[in-house]
Amino acid sequence: MHKYINQLAANDQLLIVDREVDPLYELAAVTKKVQDQGDQAIRFNNVKGTNFPIVSNLYGSRRRLCDLISAPIDGFCNTWTEILSKTDASTTAPTQKVKPPVDLVAGKLSELPLITYHEKDAGPDFTSASFRAKDPDSVVPNLSFHRSMYVNDQELRIRLGSSHDMAKYQKRAEEKGQALEAALLIGVSPEIFLAACTSIPLASNELQLAATIAGKAIDSYQCETVDLEVPATTQIVIEGRILPNELRKEGPFGEFLGYYVPEGDNHVFEISKVSWRKDALFHSVLCGSAEDLSVLEAVTAARTYKHLVSAGLPGIIDVSCSPAFMNTTIKIDQQFEGHARQVLMTAFGAGMDYNRACFVVDEDIDITNMNEVMWAYLTRGRVDKRAMILDDIPGFYRDPHKDYWGRIGIDATMPIDRKDEFIRKSVPGVDDIDLQDYIKSK
Ligand SMILES: Cc1cc2nc3c(=O)[nH]c(=O)nc-3n(C[C@H](O)[C@H](O)[C@H](O)COP(=O)(O)O)c2cc1C
């Protein structure tokens, strides 16, 4: 984490806030303002009520995400697919056991930054914590994110997304009448953050993926109060257990879809130890912001890309999930009439949760720019013949009113036999113009 922050600073990608900032709304407001104007990361050095410096917006840039895995700007999907294949084939151990860091300090939960993000949130939340937990049956460990609401020094309330691996572990533990031990990791190195965002098969270990990205086993130490190993570079670790058969009020909270999830009966996390490295940095993620969504968009797009390529479909160039990861756009090199429709049908099978609207475009379209994608749809053929509505396909797991049911597929490609009519016009020389040579400043 420190190494990454130093790199961002050296590359002019880190803004520093020295002025005192209130963790009640003000920190989120400054973060949002920075994100509205650009993609730089931020470091808050003086946050009321805590000694921890807070960093945010570390992953809110597509360029930086590509750099983290040494991919070209339009090559995240391809490079990520190669990393996943290497991980599947890896025979080396994902972790190397080390002693707990000598600078580890034990403390109380309330010493950490308690950040309230949105107007109607029930209280402060930890939004960047990835949970380390083990499958009670197979004992394969997992990493995944679950927002956690601060209650007091002994208790957090967590909302487990039912499609996530940890929810399945919790259910299995509960069936045996057991609590599920877990460790919340706040402030992890980038490869661990990326691995935690990714959904891989239940039987796989996400630290194996982190080890592939890092190119070496992840140094990990044994927690004191739970039977789990955690990466040694983690800035802050909260150990504890999810109680079986116990639900208490959690929420409301301003969620990634842009609305509040109402108060609900959710799980209780009983804390047994809180510790941090000396000089620890706390990571804050504004839920639903570019930082939260860019990584999910990138890994969701890569999943669809891998699915299409593995299905043997030709001409798949790239996939994006901008502007929200419920939307998928696929760039193809059209090979035959009807190619785009075949791609659409296959793409829906890549993962039922998120690709509600799917577009297929030609290779000249910028798939991260929805205006371009819509322009292609509106100018390259009939709108009525190039849209397919799939009725009554279930939405994602939290959808009591079926608001997220149904899918729409849009073929926004040009007719394959009339490509010469769709050559994009261009103005020669525009890229070489420097306006300062032409316009006098007052
Ligand atoms: C910063 C961040 C925060 C997230 N918070 C939540 C959350 O609070 N609840 C949730 O259900 N999913 C959340 N997610 C999504 C999933 O936890 C994440 O995609 C994870 O990979 C699921 O892992 P699994 O497939 O191993 O269960 C978050 C993702 C990110 C990147």
- Supply the residue whose CA is at minimum distance from atom 3 of ligand 1: 145
Place of tokens 């998928």: 328
Q: Indicate which atom in ligand 1 lies nearest the CA of residue 127.
A: 3
Q: Indicate which atom in ligand 1 lies nearest the CA of residue 142.
A: 26
- Supply the residue whose CA is at minimum distance from atom 23 of ligand 1: 144
Q: Of residues 320 and 396, which shows the higher confidence score? A: 320
Q: Give the mean pLDDT of 185-211.
A: 92
In SS3 terms, 173-209 reads as: HHHCCCCEEEEEEECCCHHHHHHHHCCCCCCCCHHHH
The string of DSSP letters for 208-269 reads HHHHHHHTSPEEEEE-SSSS-EEETT-SEEEEEEEEEEEEEEE--EE-TTSSEEPPEEEEEE
Q: Is 142 in the pocket of ligand 1 (CB under 6 A)?
A: yes
Q: Is 169 in the pocket of ligand 1 (CB under 6 A)?
A: no
Mutational test site, ligand 1, from 159, 164, 172, 253, max ligand atoms within 8 Å of CB? 164
- The pLDDT value recorded for residue 442 is 66
Q: Is 128 in the pocket of ligand 1 (CB under 6 A)?
A: yes
How far, in Å, is the centroid of ligand 1 from the Cα of 165? 10
- The pLDDT value recorded for residue 114 is 98
pLDDT in tens, 313-352: 999 999 999 887 789 999 999 999 999 999 999 999 998 7
Q: Give the mean pLDDT of 299-307.
A: 94
pLDDT in tens, 56-115: 999 999 999 999 999 999 899 999 999 999 999 888 889 999 999 999 999 999 999 999
- The pLDDT value recorded for residue 267 is 98
Q: Would the pLDDT of 184 be above 70?
A: yes
Q: Would the pLDDT of 40 be above 80?
A: yes
Q: What is the pTM of this model?
A: 0.94
Q: Is 144 in the pocket of ligand 1 (CB under 6 A)?
A: yes
Q: Would the pLDDT of 33 be above 70?
A: yes
Q: Would the pLDDT of 153 be above 80?
A: yes
